[in-house]
Structure 1
Amino acid sequence: MDLQSTTLAIEFRHLTYTVRHKQHYLPCFPKGESASTRTEILHNISGKFNAGELTAILGPSGAGKTSLLKILAGFRTSGVKGEILINGERRGIQHRRLCCLIPQDAALLENLTLRETLHVAAKLKLGSSRKSRALRANAIRETCRILGLEGCMDTQVCCLSGGEQKRLSCAVELLSDPPLMFFDEPTSGLDSFSSSQVLAHLRILARESRRNIVCSIHQPSSKLFQSFDSIYVLSEGHCLIKGSRELMVQNLANMNFYCPQFYNPADYVLEVAAGERGDISALIGKACEALPRIENVSAKETSFMLPNLETDCEKTENDTFLSLGPKAPKHVCTLGQQFLILFSRALLTTFKDLHMAWLRSAAHVIIGVMLGFVFYNIGNDGAKVTGNVGLIFFMMLFLFFSNAMPTVLTFPSEMSVMLREHLNGWYSIKAYYLARSIADIPLQIMCPTIFLLISYYLSNQPMEFHRFAHLWLVGILLTLLAQSLGLFVGAASDVKMGIFLVPVISIPMLLFSGYFVPVADIPVALRWLSHLSVFYYAFEACLTAMYGFERARLECSRDYCHYMSPKKIMIDLNVKEENYASCICALVGYILALRVLLYLTLKLRVILSK
């Protein structure tokens, strides 16, 4: 059976979703008793959504709408029991790429234009070869026509209206023509006109192309409610009512819940689900009984039914765990193709981002000039060795924090994009990780190089190429290390936590760098901590680059200079020339360790999102 060319109906039976909450162990717990608790979000629910229909999942906040969508889309598998069928067959890996989930928040890269966003999505979802170029162009053109996006093709995503962003998030998934689409709150944050536009386009998609489109809606207006063909109402994880929208009011009346005349049916059913119109425990009980036959309705309308006693209100003894097959579906592009597409997108995003590229470059130039004038002409003066050591340490600090903090600020915003695209089957984590890690390297090399050239020349450091090359190598490694730390913290936390964690991690390492207190003067019990400090290795390597490798005697601008011999400076600072290679190896080791942690963190974020 050609799944891509057929219409898909999705059915779920005896679906139960349980979340485990870990709590701290407290004295009140008996010894050996687990302090973790389990909360059941969905309670043995069943239902079926048909192709060619636009279905609404309704319910109060916390009813389980988003959880149900993520489970049906395959985004969430942990803690799920039950059975999911596609056209009567148990869902497997062959179905995974045929469905997609568009989350409530439009997870898009804001610096790209709408055209660039669609071109990247088309390459990843339809293939990047020259043979598929015509197919991609046709898919983009047709998708934009259907969703009414032709007039804003060259507009940056950040400049699109809320409705246009919602439609763009739909368009990137629509390119591969998925027959089964799930939307989480597609009208949230939109005005009534934009909401009507979005739902009108979704209804056209469902009707014309026989797609199966399911949306969770919090509180639709009467006009929006009329856009849906079918409804599925949840109340605290229980199925309250399901089936044709047209028969909802009538079936509620059959259970003694009467919707007032000229009252929005969606508002009324939500009030019923929230218990504002009476005790719903009796309603859930009646929902398990067969409804009276409704006369003079079509076959489609008689398919409307409330949960059945045998399928929804009794938990079978033979519960089956949800089977999804392999964790990751096969991607359209190879790993190499994915990397090239994502790498080019990351480069484009980096250099179109004012904060990431131009401001950082300008900051490196300005601070380099400022340092050069403050420490002007001191690099070869034996009377100003202390100031030159301070300059070296400040250069090291600037390179570290100027590259760690911007990454922490920007990377978390990309995480939601990565999760959506990866879970919808665009690419593998490995391809994203490699592309994201390498794309920043040009900027990480350019900015420190400009900074070091300016400050090195203006401060009159020794004009020897090998000496500058040694200093440059340390600066580049420290920059890459800072970026790695920023990426890791950004992947493991949100922006607020990241801004807190980077200084908390860095300041103790600064304390044991050997600049404020010589390592020999640190108490023996704490001295070993200096060997965990990245600043210790960077500082010692920078001092070696400046005063080691047989440097000639310094000049003296005063009558007497204590430090005219570079060897004496090295001895007093307890720096050994032969340690330069080991310092470089230590910095490289830190970079590799942080990169491995970053990859594992990305994998963990994907696992936890399920």
Structure 2
Amino acid sequence: MLIDQLRLRLRLRLRLRLTSQPLLILSVAQLILSNSNKPDVPTDRCPTCPECFNCQLPRFVCRQYGDCNEYDGQCKCPAGFGGQDCGQPVCGSLADGDRRHVRPENSTSCDCDEGWTGVNCNVCENDDSCAALIPPYSPGKLLVQISDPQKNRSEAVCYKGGFAVNRNYQMCNVTNRKILDMLPGRLPQVSFTCDIPTSTCQFQFWIGSVESFYCSFEECSQSIQVGYEGQPNITRQDCQRMKCKCIPGKMLCGESGSVDIRDFLREEIKGPGKFSCSSDQQGCRFEEPAMNQLISDIFGDTSITLNCQSGECMHYTMVPGFQVPVKPDNSQMVALSIAFTAFLVILASCIFWYYGRSRAHKYPAFQGRIRLPSEEDQSLFFDHIPTDLSFYKISYSVPGQKVVLREVSGKAKSGELMAIMGASGAGKSSLLDILAKKNKSGLVEGEILINDKQISNDYFKNLIGYVDQEDTLLSTLTVYETVLCSAMLRLPSQMSTESKKIRTLETLEELGILHLKDVFIGKSGRRSISGGEKRRVSIACELVTSPSILFLDEPTSGLDSFNAYNVVESLAGLAKNYKRTVVFTIHQPQSNILALFDQLVLLGSGGRLVYSGAFSKCHDYFEKIGYPCPSGYNIADFLIDLMMTSKSRSATPVESGSAPSEQFLGDGKQAASSLTESQQISEEPRGTVLLTNKASCHSPGSSQTKRKQKLSTGSQGSSSRLRSILADSENDTSFLDELNQFFVKSDIYKCFTKDLEAARANELLRSDELDNLIKHLDSRGSSRVGLLEQLFILSGRAFKNMYRNPMLMFSHYMLAILLAGICAGLFRNVTMDIGGFQGRMGLFFFILSLFGFSSLSTISIFNQERLVFMRERSNNYYSPISYFVSKVIFDLVPLRIVPPFILGSIIYYPVGLVASLEQFWKFCLVLISFNLVSSSLVLWISLLIEDVGIANLVGSLIMLFNLLFAGLLINREKLAHGLRFLQDISFFHAAFEAMLVNEVRYLTLKDHRYGVDIEVPSATILSLFGFRTTAFWWPDMMILVVMFLTFIVLSCLTLIIFVKERR
């Protein structure tokens, strides 16, 4: 079936040329399709004697394009062929000369002499087989033939390189798969011979050791391409003219059952022809345009592929010498590779920029007041267990300094607003930090209870929100983006993104900063929003999550009276409407803000507790102890002045053993009725409370002089009673100690302690409530966004921070471009001599120094966000791992990977480094790996050392230490054996050695000094400097990879373990 297809294709191919010769086409077709021979017709006549062979007659030809002798009409056959027409292969070997015998007609193989092979025994296999062909050489005499070849074995060589010196013989097996499939059991082969003096070549095609057709090449030229750095050597025979002939009756040339390509060979094959061989596994190939087209049409290959064995006998002095490989010019490929990579970087940057711009202004539409969807509103705010906060005898002292807090107690119920007031330095912020369970550097004592029970810190963090006194916000984000980031990280993961955005806008509206949603936070020197607006943004970041307990440190600082009232009113609404507990410190509130307080904790100097209880009873309490608020005077100002005045006030000595008058302290029943009265007052409208407070302040006068006089004397009856109480004090204490002791013995404090003891006694009765709270906290904690989503959110924030503050990235890029231009000019076209070797070493050393010391900028990158990270981590925004990975991605990729690639791409071609695509990418790989190692090391230093100056000093010293042992300044062989490990742990040495090995390992340095030509391999020079010529992948690149991973892991562990907020 396949033979029929080949016949049909050949008919179609020849039809165009033979349409004018129908009889010839018919005869060719009959010859191809004929499968039987007619029997000879018997005749009675004697047979005619055959005509004598004469190559000068038209009916006789010399095959293999042999020469015809014009004198005797006989053919002069090329080596390896014999018979009258040169149509038979001969056996033996080339050493037999004209004495070689023709292969038997019925045989398909020759008995070659030892050391010879091939269909016609033309290819030598070893040097001994050539001894008979190569005469010895004697000085001053011509080459002469000798009879004893044994004496000449040491001088004869069988050269198998494929490069023809005089006359080269090759025997090849065809490797085209389809041709082999068509000829099972009949190996197709090619013999190829080139004669250099005549610039001709001969080609024979064999099937089953039987010749099918032969070709002759003229005007041939030979070339060799020496492989560079492990690339194969390629020899080529390019011939301009070519002609071929078929041997009639043979396979492919008229044999029964086969195709006939005689006309194709005669009319189509004209040349040029090329025979090329590669020293690697690719083998050889024969190419000619018409032949390639036939092979492609019939067999699907591009040319005839071969596996050849070459052999040429010659004197050892004629063996081709070593040729220095020419450095290939791959500059176009390198340039295209650089351009493509730059295109990808620019495309990715544009996509990120467009994505950031498109999402920056994509806000949900809203009209009027913003409301959450009803079902998610319920889930976020009303699916909540009321949480009471109690604290008992909280004390705090700093070792070696002073006592900050002294047994402070109090309670804030769910739905209440507790204010902590006191003079400056009284310990308000310290108390708030302790209540929020922040890490404190001193000793903390006392109990903090949730619903009268102690819970773990992990559960507690899921309950609270904390707004610090100092704003720590990223200056490159807008107000909306800042609050939205908090919402996305901390609100339940079941809540839709759209609802989180709406909740963010609602929070901004509640705090009166919705009109600033698109304004950047800004920083000192380039401020966009005011300090008061920053405070409200900080509050919004916590308020957006609607925590069960919200702690705020001076939330009204920096705000005017109107905005301060709005902030506190929002807090009060959150407490009342959604049953949240709000605790905050405040310094000196105005009267309308005071009316919003439910509980008040008043601290004196040294952290002494002066009052803790319902704010509605505060006025009456101080009036009873002899310090009524003057009429029309703000009670907050009065209390602060009272605390400040107490510093210069001395108490009257009291008698030991006396107790306070029961008229003021009362018994348990009076305390209970007082508490009931307090609850009734707290349930009244807030405006009524404020009016009641004013009404109770009946003393006339409001001037500073009268107030001091009032504080000094009090009402006459109250002062006498107070002096009688103080007279019973056990110790001679200060005025604030006396106020503290009086409060501890008051009915309010006794009622608080009795409630606490009763709660402890009923612990089993409230266990179900505690279990429900823990279950609620577990569900809330598990509903937080996962690590992957945290990474996505933080990566988006880091990307915005990067492209909105581009100066650092821009400076790195411009520095790389500028210094690349300088290096390209200084080291342009380095030569292949000793000076060029020095230039390469200097260039690599300078580049590594540049990137090593420029990586110190990593210190400032993290230091700018250290406080932000500690605050957000303390407030349970995210896992430290998520933050670390996002910082690594958006610091290492744009600042530590792109600049080395930019510099390497610019300098590589102008400097004249190895123009190989593999070497170029290895060069960039080493630069990038080194930059990653140095940056990860500096990142670890910046995490360990908080002070920027000290961190820079330590980083610089470590860089100099590594630079010292890079290998240029100190030779490895000159180091003591015990100190050589210092070079092994130097990442400068690993990168420097890898770059040198990649560049000069296979180069040969040539120089001319003092009339002497010097030619030395670069590997020798590397060894003299103490470098290992095979150390690129192992150990150099492996050291860089291991060091990078080690420093990254150490940095992550340092961030998790040591970088925490401590107050």
Report the TM-score range of the alignment, normalised by the length of the smaller protein.
0.7 to 0.9
- Residue in 1 that maps onto 2:608: 238
- Most deviating of 110-119 and 267-276: 267-276
3-state secondary structure, aligned to 2:864: helix
Shift of 1:392: 0.9
Question: 590-599 or 111-120: which moved more?
Answer: 111-120
Aligned counterparts, 1:34-53, within 5 A = 41-53=404-416
State the one-letter code of the partner of 2:388. A
Distance verdict in 2 for CA 1:128–1:560, change over 3 Å = farther
Per-residue displacement from partner, 1:345-393 (whole Å, max 9, x unpaired)?
Answer: 3233233321342332222222222322233333756424333322211
Over 3 Å counting, the alpha-carbon distance change for 1:329 and 1:61 in structure 2 is: farther
Q: 1: CA distance between counterparts of 2:1008 and 2:595?
A: 87
Q: Aligned residue for 1:181?
A: 550
Q: Does 1:299 find its partner at 2:669?
A: no
- CA offsets 1:135-173 (integer angstroms, 9 cap, x no match): 212211211111122212222222332222222222222
Describe the superposition over 1:194-239 as per-residue Cα deviations: whole angstroms up to 9, x where unpaired. 6566445444544554432222235657787676554322332332
C-alpha RMSD of the superposition: 4.3
Aligned to 1:30: none
Task: Return closer, same or farther for 1:608/1:127 CA change in 2, 3 Å cut-off.
Answer: closer
Match of 2:884 in 1: 433
* 2:910 counterpart (446, 458, 461): 458
Q: What TM-score, normalized to structure 2?
A: 0.49
Equivalent in the alignment of 1:58: 421
2:480 to 89, 94, 115: 115
Output the CA distance in 1 between the equivalents of 2:967 and 2:659: 76
The answer as to whether partners of 1:241 and 1:287 remain within 8 angstroms in 2 is no
Question: Could you tell which deviates more after superposition, 517-526 or 258-267?
Answer: 258-267
Deviation for aligned residue 1:265: 5.0
Give per-residue Cα distances to partners, 1:267-326, cap 9 Å, x unaligned.
55445546524259999x99999757889975355899985347799xx9xx9xxx9999
Alpha-carbon spacing, 1:227–1:3, altered in 2? closer, same or farther (3 Å): closer
**Residues 592 and 282 (structure 1), Cα distance of their counterparts in 2 relative to 1, 3 Å cut:** farther
Identify, as 1 or 2, the structure richer in helix: 1
Structure 1's 495 and 595: CA in aligned 2 closer, same or farther, altered over 3 A?
same
CA gap of 1:298–1:218, structure 2 versus 1, over 3 A, is closer
- Secondary structure, counterpart of 1:276 in structure 2: helix
User: 1:82 matched to which residue of 2?
Assistant: 446
Which segments of 5 or more consecutive residues in structure 1 lack a partner in the other structure? 22-36
User: Which residue matches 1:570?
Assistant: 1022
CA positional deviation for 1:582: 0.9
> Unpaired runs of 5+ in structure 2?
1-378, 523-527, 684-692, 694-739, 761-769
Q: Return closer, same or farther for 1:559/1:505 CA change in 2, 3 Å cut-off.
A: same
How far the C-alpha of 1:108 sits from its partner, in A, is: 2.1
Measured in 2, the distance between the counterparts of 1:194 and 1:504 equals 52
- Which deviates more, 188-197 or 329-338? 188-197
Aligned to 1:546: 999
Whether 1:482 aligns to 2:927 is: no
Q: What is residue 513 of structure 1 aligned with on the other side? A: 966
- Indicate whether 1:423 and 2:874 are aligned: yes
Point out the more displaced range, 406-415 or 48-57: 48-57
- Hey, what's the Cα distance between the residues in 2 that align with 1:599 and 1:280? 57
Q: 8 Å contact 2:480–2:505 — kept in the other structure?
A: no
Write the distance in 2 (CA, Å) between the matches of 1:440 and 1:449: 15
Letter in 1 for 2:999: M
SS at match of 2:600: strand
Which stretch has the larger CA shift, 408-417 or 556-565?
A: 556-565
2:387 aligned partner, one-letter code = L
AA matched with 2:889: I
Q: Displacement of 1:599 after TM fit?
A: 1.8
Cα contact 2:834–2:1006 (8 A) shared by 1: yes
Query: 1:141-540 counterparts in 2 under 5 A?
Result: 141-158=505-522, 159-188=528-557, 198-199=567-568, 201-218=570-587, 228-234=597-603, 235-245=605-615, 248=618, 251-252=621-622, 254-256=624-626, 265-266=635-636, 269-270=639-640, 272-273=642-643, 275-279=646-650, 291=665, 299=679, 307-309=743-745, 330=782, 332-378=784-830, 382-402=834-854, 404-443=855-894, 444-492=896-944, 493-522=946-975, 526-540=979-993
Separation (CA, whole Å) in 2 of partners of 1:287 and 1:63: 26
Q: Taking structure 1 as reference, are residues 81 and 296 closer, same or farther at Cα in structure 2, changes over 3 Å only? A: closer
Contact kept in structure 1, 2:436 and 2:551, CA below 8 Å: yes
Change (3 A) 1:134 1:558: farther
Correspondence for 2:1054 among 601, 604, 610: 601
2:471/2:535 contact within 8 Å kept = yes
For residues 892 and 996 of structure 2, the distance between their equivalents in structure 1, rounded to whole angstroms, comes to 25
1:549-574 residue CA offsets vs partner (Å, 9 max, x unmatched): x2354688999897974223312321
Change in CA separation of 1:97 and 1:45 when aligned onto 2, cut-off 3 Å: same
For the residues of structure 2 that align with 1:411 and 1:286, how far apart are their CA atoms? 60
Distance in 1 between the 2:630 and 2:1014 partners?
A: 95
Alignment deviations for residues 56-78 of structure 1 (CA, whole Å, 9 cap, x no partner): 32334543333322222233388
* Bigger shift: residues 302-311 or 53-62: 302-311
| More strand by percentage | 2
**AA at the equivalent of 1:468:** F
Kept in 2: contact 1:233–1:241 (CA 8 A): yes
1:133 aligns with 2:487: no
Q: Does 1:72 align with 2:435?
A: yes
Measure the CA separation in 2 of the matches of 1:503 and 1:379: 34
Which deviates further from its counterpart, 262-271 or 508-517? Answer: 262-271
Measured in 2, the distance between the counterparts of 1:219 and 1:184 equals: 13
Please list the CA deviations of residues 520-551 of structure 1 after superposition, one character each: whole Å capped at 9, or x if unmatched.
44566655433333222222222222222x23
Give the distance between the partners of 2:660 and 2:557, measured in 1 at CA.
Answer: 30
Task: Give the conservation status (yes or no) of the 8 Å contact 2:471–2:534.
Answer: yes
The answer (yes or no) to whether the contact 1:382–1:561 under 8 Å persists in 2 is no
Distance, in Å, in 1 between the alignment partners of 2:431 and 2:810 is 44
Closer, same or farther in 2 for the Cα pair 1:491/1:225, shift >3 Å?
Answer: farther
CA distance in 1, matches of 2:477, 2:870: 18
Map Cα deviations across residues 385-405 of structure 1 (whole Å, 9 max, x no partner): 333322211111222222x32
The whole-number CA distance in structure 2 between the counterparts of 1:117 and 1:563 is 67
Contact persistence 2:824–2:911 (CA under 8 A): yes
**Counterparts of 2:819 and 2:861, CA distance in 1:** 22
* Whole-angstrom distance in 2 between the partners of 1:509 and 1:571: 21
Q: Deviation of residue 449 (structure 1)?
A: 0.7
Could you say what secondary structure the match of 1:56 adopts? strand
Partner SS state of residue 613, structure 2 = strand
> Could you tell me which residue of structure 2 aligns to residue 27 of structure 1?
none
TM-score by length of 1: 0.82
CA contact 1:509–1:533 (8 Å) conserved in 2: yes
For the Cα contact (< 8 Å) 2:436–2:464, is it kept in 1?
A: yes
Post-superposition CA distance 1:447-488 (Å, at most 9, x none): 221122112233222212222222222211222122212322
Which structure's relative contact order is higher, taking Cα pairs within 8 Å and 6+ residues apart? 1
- Structure 1 384/578 Cα, relative in aligned 2: closer, same or farther at 3 Å? closer
More displaced 10-residue stretch of structure 1: 251-260 or 303-312? 303-312
In 2, distance between residues paired with 1:378 and 1:286? 99
Partner residue of 1:33? Answer: none
- After superposition, the Cα gap between the structure-2 partners of 1:54 and 1:496, relative to the gap in structure 1 and judged at 3 Å, is farther
1:91 aligned partner: 455
Q: Assess, with a 3 A threshold, how the Cα gap between structure 1 residues 194 and 565 changes in structure 2: closer, same or farther.
A: farther
Does the C-alpha gap of structure 1 residues 259 and 551 become closer, same or farther in structure 2, counting only changes over 3 Å? Answer: farther
Q: Is the 8 A contact 1:206 1:212 kept in 2?
A: yes
